[in-house]
Amino acid sequence: MAINETPERNKPLVDSQLSEQDRKTYANDPSKTNRAHQIKRSDDEFKNIAVNIQDIDEAILFYFNQVIKPKVIENQVEVDVPVIYGDPESWKAVQRDGFMRDKKGLLLVPVVMARRTSISRDDSVPVDKADRNLVHQFPIKWSTKNRYDRFSLLTGAPRKETYEVYNVVVPDYVIINYDCVIWTTFVTQMNKIVEQIYYSEGHYWGDRKKYKFSTRIDSFDQNIEVNTELGRIVRSNFTLNVRGFLIPEVANNQITTQKTFTKQQVVLGIETEVSIKDVK
């Protein structure tokens, strides 16, 4: 982490807060644009780093469906338990996810549902929100600007190389809670699913090719309901606690991943082969 010399991501100050010096800077004078800040990004291979809420939701569902893969035995046959995000649109639930319902629209259980209920600040990772100039720096050592050329050959590479540096804002560390419901027909099925999920509690959930987040489950509430509408149903509720971080791709109308170059130097030295005494 380093202090960014040019606080690009700062919100523009209101005019009353500008000093006389500020008014003279390039940033406040549209006619004098600082071209050092105009760095082309179109041919970058470095993608902007952004972690949004949907990434975390996808990580959780990915882990449920691809890693935990809850299964139960139903009528002596092993059955995959679908895990869905809560409150789907009706057409999706009934028409596309038709495998989860019979032709009368009755839900086929077991099924697991998860839905995000809250996002709160993670106080265990303090971040100075007032100073948005703090950045993580990701230097890329090889740059097209350091190509070996004839000048280097002649001069013995006296240049100090430049590095591409990608400055990414410090994330907002958050705790995201998911309310999850397991709905089964039998307690034995519920036991199996709870065992499988609880085994993964405390692990980092997510796709290893993307992002993974620390998780925690404190308890599973279990109850058996018998009512005249649905008959006997076995349900378990638990809260999945995810410690995540958020980096918006664009904040305050600026991209949060900024590219900069370190300064290049051409070092000129003096070499003498003849002493002044020998010059006559």
Does the footprint of other proteins cover residue 61 (CB under 8 A)?
no
Other C-beta atoms lying within 10 Å of the C-beta of residue 231? 9
Judging by DSSP bridges, how do beta strands 83-85 and 77-80 pair with one another?
unpaired
Q: Exposed, middle or buried: residue 125 (CB in 10 Å: 0-12, 13-18, 19+)?
A: middle
Beta carbon of residue 222, minimum distance to other proteins (angstroms, whole number): 11
By CB under 8 A, name the one of 6, 28, 53, 88 that touches other proteins.
Answer: 88
Q: What DSSP assignment string belongs to 68-121? A: I--EEEETTEEEEPPEEESS--HHIIIIITGGGB-TT-PBPS-EEEEEEEEEEE
Any long-range contacts for 224-233 (C-beta under 8 Å, 24+ apart)?
224/187, 232/185, 233/109, 233/183, 233/184, 233/185
Closest CA to 109 of 85, 83, 77: 83
Q: Looking at beta carbons only, is 167 or 184 nearer to other proteins? A: 184
Judging by DSSP bridges, how do beta strands 204-206 and 172-184 pair with one another?
unpaired
Contact residues for 265 (Cβ-Cβ < 8 A; gap 6+): 159, 160
Chain position carrying tokens 């869905």: 84
Q: Looking at beta carbons only, is 4 or 184 nearer to other proteins? A: 184
Other C-beta atoms lying within 10 Å of the C-beta of residue 244? 26
Candidate ranges 44-52, 129-137, 226-234, 251-259; the one touching other proteins (CB under 8 A)? 226-234
Contact pattern for other proteins over residues 21 through 60, marking x by CB under 8 A: ----------------------------------------
Judging by DSSP bridges, how do beta strands 172-184 and 111-121 pair with one another?
antiparallel
Q: Looking at beta carbons only, is 30 or 105 nearer to other proteins? A: 105
By CB under 8 A, name the one of 93, 119, 157, 168 that touches other proteins.
Answer: 93
Q: Looking at beta carbons only, is 235 or 243 nearer to other proteins? A: 235
Does the footprint of other proteins cover residue 105 (CB under 8 A)?
yes
Q: Looking at beta carbons only, is 14 or 226 nearer to other proteins? A: 226
By CB under 8 A, name the one of 181, 217, 251, 255 that touches other proteins.
Answer: 181
Does the footprint of other proteins cover residue 87 (CB under 8 A)?
yes
Q: Looking at beta carbons only, is 189 or 256 nearer to other proteins? A: 189
Beta carbon of residue 213, minimum distance to other proteins (angstroms, whole number): 22
Task: Enumerate residues 125-164 that contact other proteins by CB under 8 A.
Answer: none
Is 61 strand, coil or helix? helix
Candidate ranges 80-88, 154-162, 212-220, 255-263; the one touching other proteins (CB under 8 A)? 80-88
Candidate ranges 20-28, 107-115, 192-200, 214-222; the one touching other proteins (CB under 8 A)? 107-115
Does the footprint of other proteins cover residue 98 (CB under 8 A)?
yes
Longest alpha-carbon distance in the chain: 117
Determine the Cα–Cα distance for residues 80 and 89; give it in Å rounded to an integer: 22
**Chain positions contacting other proteins, by CB under 8 A:** 73-77, 79, 84, 86-88, 90, 92-109, 111, 113, 115, 181, 183, 185-189, 228-231
